[in-house]
Structure formats: C-alpha cells, structure tokens
C-alpha cells in the first residue's frame, strides 16, 4: 500500500501552559489540493509550522512521504515547499538571483535548470532580471510560489497565497496553484471559502486545536442537512395548500410561480410534493433541495462542541 504524502499522528503542541493543538491525527493522499480551514487562533499556523519543520512539536509524529520529520529532518524537508502568508522575498535581488539563492539553500544540484523550470512554471521568466521590489503584488506572489517549488518537492504548503491581491491576480494565482497540483500535493490555507470550493479536492478544518472536519468538498457542502426546498409550478397552488403537505411548516412565495419551502423530517417530502402536484394539476417544473452556504457550514463547525 502506498504511503500517504503526509501522515500526522497524535500531534500536540503547547506554548507555556496553553495547548495550541492537541492530539491531531490525519493523512493527506498524494495529488490534488487540500484546503485547510479554521478560525483565527484555531491552530492552523501551528500545525503548518510543525509540518514544515519550522516548529518542533511537544508530542506526536509527522511523516512526509513515509519519512519521520523529527528523526530525519533534512531528508523529509527535501519534499516540502512552503510559502508563508508574507512571501519571504528579498526586494533588492532580481528574480533570478533570488531563486538561485533559494535553490542553493535547498542543495539543488543543477541550479540553473531548476531555476529556469520554476520561473517557467510560474510565468515569471520574462521578469528574471527585474528587481523583486519593482514587481506587482501578484508577481511577487508568483516569485514566492516559485521559491516553494524550485527544489521540486512532492508536497507544497501555501498559506493565504491570494491575500491582498485584486480579483484578476487572484484568478491568475488560483490557476497557477491548479497547475502546480497536477504533479504534486498542495495544502492550501485560506479564509476565502469560495476559493476552497473552486480549487480543492478535500477539506480539513481545525478549530480550538482539534480537527473538526476532514473530507471531500461535497461532504463539507452537505455537512448541514438541507431544510429548505425550491419549487416552481406552471399552475401554482395557494400557500395554504402547500402547508397541508406533511413535513412542510413554512412557505415563502418568491414570485408568481416560485416558492421556498421549509420542511422537517426526511427527504420524502420532495416525493410528497411531486405526488400532490400530479394529483392536483399544479404542473411542477422544478424542485431541488437548497444547500447551506459554505459560511453557514464554517460557522457551525466553528461553534461545534469538540469534547463530549
């Protein structure tokens, strides 16, 4: 069985007397983008810093592609690329000088080839002789991503990579992240929930130092069971008629033909609506369950009781 690219076992860390994270366990399979969510102070940064080898954990183990990070840090870090929230760039160096420096720090054997490959991948080759201070925010972010992949790691952590960018720059960086994830695994930490939905394969959420959710984007979307239905009729009934259907306790008329229905109980209410529509000639045209917003799911998980 193939090793996961990242495996975390019973990870805990304490600052003085306060536990930042406690008994965290998860695995990240190779390939694709995994979103890391959590409120401010939830323990995301502590977890990322430990996984990157920047911070030594109090308890627990981290394995990068099967290598124990604490026992064999140099070997494990060869497969880690990291872009902090503030890119670690030197503004007085040119793009090429900076990436050569980063490649040298990572013991890259063929530095010119590695630098050219990283610049090409990030679309910054035409700026290789320009001082980093003279680049736009979006291109400085691209340089930061280039330094994270210059040594060709299998696992890349990006902390708020689109923070402070305009909408066009966000789209460019988002597309770049997708391209990078084609041949490596990316852990993306962000507060922009739409970005997670647009780019990520799986989601992991940390709250109060514990993992409160781990699963696919679809699982996250459906974490809160829907309690509303949208319906459209060609020959709409009266609101009171809809309230006679078992399980429906509130009706909102959106316009002449469209309604939002609140229901309790199971999903059989949709079948009952279809049957009533057929029997009473309402001519149902559309019906679907309305999912909770990502913000609502995030809020529920943020307030979730972690300990029984």
d(CA 231, CA 81): 48
Kindly list the distances between the CA atom of residue 121 and the CA atoms of 89, 130, 176, in Å, as whole numbers in the listed order: 18, 17, 8
List b or e across 127-138, with b for residues whose CB sees 16 or more CB atoms inside 10 angstroms. beeeebeebeeb
| pLDDT, position 306 | 42
Domains of the chain: 6-221 (3.40.50.300), 228-291 (3.30.70)
Instruction: Tell me the whole-structure pTM to 2 decimals.
Output: 0.79
| pLDDT, position 2 | 64
| Residue in the block written with tokens 């930061």 | 144
Q: Is 304 a residue whose pLDDT tops 60?
A: no
Q: Select from 167, 219, 210 the least CA-distant residue to 192.
A: 167
| pLDDT, position 194 | 80
Q: Given pLDDT bands bounded at 50, 70 and 90, which one contains residue 267?
A: low
Residue-wise pLDDT tens digits, 103-124: 999 999 999 999 999 999 999 9
Residue-wise pLDDT tens digits, 133-181: 999 988 999 999 999 999 999 999 999 888 888 888 888 888 999 999 9
d(CA 245, CA 48): 51
- pLDDT mean over 197-214: 90
| pLDDT, position 17 | 85
Mean pLDDT of the chain: 89
| pLDDT, position 91 | 94
């Amino acid at each position: 069985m193939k090793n996961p690219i990242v495996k975390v076992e019973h990870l805990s860390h304490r600052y003085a007397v306060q536990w930042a994270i406690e008994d965290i366990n998860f695995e990240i399979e190779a390939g694709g983008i995994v979103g890391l969510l959590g409120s401010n102070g939830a323990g995301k940064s502590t977890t990322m810093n430990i996984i990157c080898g920047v911070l030594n954990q109090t308890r627990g183990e981290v394995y990068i592609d099967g290598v124990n990070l604490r026992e064999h840090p140099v070997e494990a870090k060869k497969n880690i690329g990291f872009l902090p929230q503030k890119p670690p760039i030197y503004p007085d160096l040119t793009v090429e000088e900076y990436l050569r420096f980063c490649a040298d720090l990572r013991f890259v054997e063929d530095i010119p080839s590695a630098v050219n490959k990283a610049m090409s991948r990030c679309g910054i080759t035409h700026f290789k002789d320009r001082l980093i201070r003279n680049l736009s925010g979006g291109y400085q972010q691209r340089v930061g991503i280039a330094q994270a992949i210059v040594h060709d790691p299998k696992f890349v952590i990006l902390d708020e990579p689109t923070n402070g960018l305009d909408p066009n720059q966000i789209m460019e960086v988002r597309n770049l992240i997708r391209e990078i994830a084609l041949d490596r695994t990316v852990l993306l930490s962000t507060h922009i929930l739409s970005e997670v939905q647009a780019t990520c394969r799986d989601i992991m959420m940390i709250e109060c130092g514990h993992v409160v959710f781990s699963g696919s984007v679809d699982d996250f979307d459906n974490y809160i069971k829907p309690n509303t239905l949208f319906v459209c009729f060609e020959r709409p009934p009266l609101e009171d008629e809809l309230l006679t259907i078992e399980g429906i306790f509130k009706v909102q008329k959106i316009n002449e033909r469209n309604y939002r229905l609140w229901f309790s109980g199971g999903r059989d209410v949709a079948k009952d609506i279809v049957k009533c529509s057929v029997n009473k000639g309402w001519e149902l045209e559309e019906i679907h369950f309305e999912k909770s917003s990502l913000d609502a799911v995030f809020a529920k998980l943020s307030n979730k009781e972690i300990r029984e």
